[in-house]
Amino acid sequence: MVDVAFRQGSVAGVRSPRKRSGLRLALKRRSTVAFLMTLPLILLISILVLYPALYSLHLATLNKAMSRFVGLGNFEFLFKRETFWLVVEQSCIFAISAVIFKALIGFIVAHFVHNVPTKGQRKWRGMLLVPWVIPPAMSTLAWLWLFDPSYSAFNYTLSFFGIGPIAWTGDAYWARFSVILVNVWYGAPFFMIMYLAALKSVPEQLYEAAAIDGANWWQRIWYVTLPMMRNIIAITTLFSLIVTFANFDIVRILTSGGPLDHTHIFATWAFRVGIEGNDIPLGASVSLFMVPILAIAAIFILRDISKRGNEA
């Protein structure tokens, strides 16, 4: 009504109803509202995830000073470097062995927790999940101290058994072992929790039927438990492969990639080369090498998720 009063000389009356309700209607329409609600999410992902991913492709094609285009020059350079292939090999061994151990330990421990009467399970679960709760940077520091060349508590204990001091982070092979050990320590609880939830979802009667059919304990696991858990095992394993492959914290703090680059993985070497070495394009190239492997894993996950949707 106010705007009518201010409009000198214009026809007295209500403002054009069609225009106002048109905008209102548009705002109320479900798809508009929905779009607006997802807009921040879409913006966040486009600008800070998708765009940088593509940008790194561009960066990888520049020279160190980022002044001219060198095409695949960075990649050629990397392929000739022995350290690069060392990094590739180490990343793969690291990821695959760590995930296998994490899955195995997680599966076994989940079974033990499941065997215990339900009342007591909570406290065991609580204790066994602690490694996952502590920020990995902090717990890796503890491991670093446990592995210290001069003061290692492990070496102290081992000396009582006559086993000589082990260079946990100093010797190349022991360093690799240590890195995998810390990663398994940190990641196994996650597998344990996921598998425990899956174990609980297998109906008890299936086990009873199998027992009557004549299956002993490992036959029950092989014929009943594993098939029922196939989906969750596949999904967690693939996810963990991706995440372990791209891990940074543990290697950086424990060994900084040493000794002599024998524990470097993609993430830490990219950091060394790109940030510390001030060669952004080269670092981008190193990081990009993770993409093909991650893409393949992502495809498998997608297929598994849609298969899970259909099978349920």
Partner 1 sequence: MSTMAIDKGAPTRKVKYGSMSRDRAWALRWSYFFLTLFAIFSLVPPIYMIITSLKSSAEISAATNPWWVFHPTLSNYIELLTSNQFLTFFRNSAVVSIFVVTITMLISVPAAFALARMRFWGSATLATGVFLTYLIPDSLLFIPLFKMFAVIGDWTGIQLINKWYVLLFIYPTLTVPFCTWIMIGYFASIPKELDEAAIIDGASWFQTLTRIFIPVALPGLIAATIFAFTVSWAQFLYPLVFTTSADQLVLPVGIITTLIKGDVFNWGQIMTGALLGAAPPLIIYAFLMDYYIAGLTAGATKG
Partner 2 sequence: MAEVMLRKVVKRYDDVEAVRGIDLDIADHEFVVLVGPSGCGKSTTLRMIAGLEDITDGDIMIGGDIVNDVPPKDRDIAMVFQNYALYPHMTVAENMSFGLRLKRYPKAEIKARIDEAARMLDIVELVDRKPKQLSGGQRQRVAMGRAIVRNPKVFLFDEPLSNLDAKLRVQMRIEIKKVHQKVRTTTVYVTHDQVEAMTLADRVVVMNNGRIEQIGTPNDLYHHPATRFVAAFIGSPAMNFLPCRFEEVAGRLHVRLTDRIAFPLPPGRAERYRDVGRSEKLLLGLRPEHITEANAHPELGIEAFDAVLDVTEPMGMETLIYFTLEGTQVCGRVNPNAGARDGGALRLAVDLNNMHLLNEVTGAVI
Applying CB under 8 A, which residues contact partner 2?
203, 205-206, 208-216, 219, 223-224, 227-228, 230
Q: Could you say which of partner 2, partner 1, none residue 210 binds, taking C-beta under 5 to 8 angstroms by partner kind? A: partner 2
Closest to partner 2 by CB, 210 vs 298, is 210
Q: Could you say which of partner 1, partner 2, none residue 263 binds, taking C-beta under 5 to 8 angstroms by partner kind? A: none
Q: Could you say which of partner 2, partner 1, none residue 70 binds, taking C-beta under 5 to 8 angstroms by partner kind? A: none
Q: Could you say which of partner 1, partner 2, none residue 271 binds, taking C-beta under 5 to 8 angstroms by partner kind? A: partner 1
Q: How far is the CB of 164 from partner 2 (least distance, A)?
A: 48
Q: Give me the DSSP letters along the chain.
A: -HHHHH-TTSPPS---HHHHHHHHHHHHSHHHHHHHHHHHHHHHHIIIIIHHHHHHHHHTTB-TTS-SB-TTHHHHHHHH-HHHHHHHHHHHHHHHHHHHHHHHHHHHHHHHHHHS-HHHHHHHHHHHHHHHHS-HHHHHHHHHHHT-TTT-HHHHHHHTTTPPPP-TTTSHHHHHHHHHHHHHHHHHHHHHHHHHHHHHTS-HHHHHHHHHHT--HHHHIIIIIHHHTHHHHHHHHHHHHHHHHT--HHHHHHTTT-STTTT--HHHHHIIIIIIS--HHHHHHHHHTHHHHHHHHHHHHHHHHHHHHHH-
Closest to partner 2 by CB, 129 vs 206, is 206
Closest to partner 1 by CB, 10 vs 157, is 157
Q: How far is the CB of 121 from partner 2 (least distance, A)?
A: 19
Q: How far is the CB of 45 from partner 2 (least distance, A)?
A: 36
Q: Could you say which of partner 1, partner 2, none residue 229 binds, taking C-beta under 5 to 8 angstroms by partner kind? A: none
Closest to partner 2 by CB, 89 vs 208, is 208
Q: How far is the CB of 111 from partner 2 (least distance, A)?
A: 19
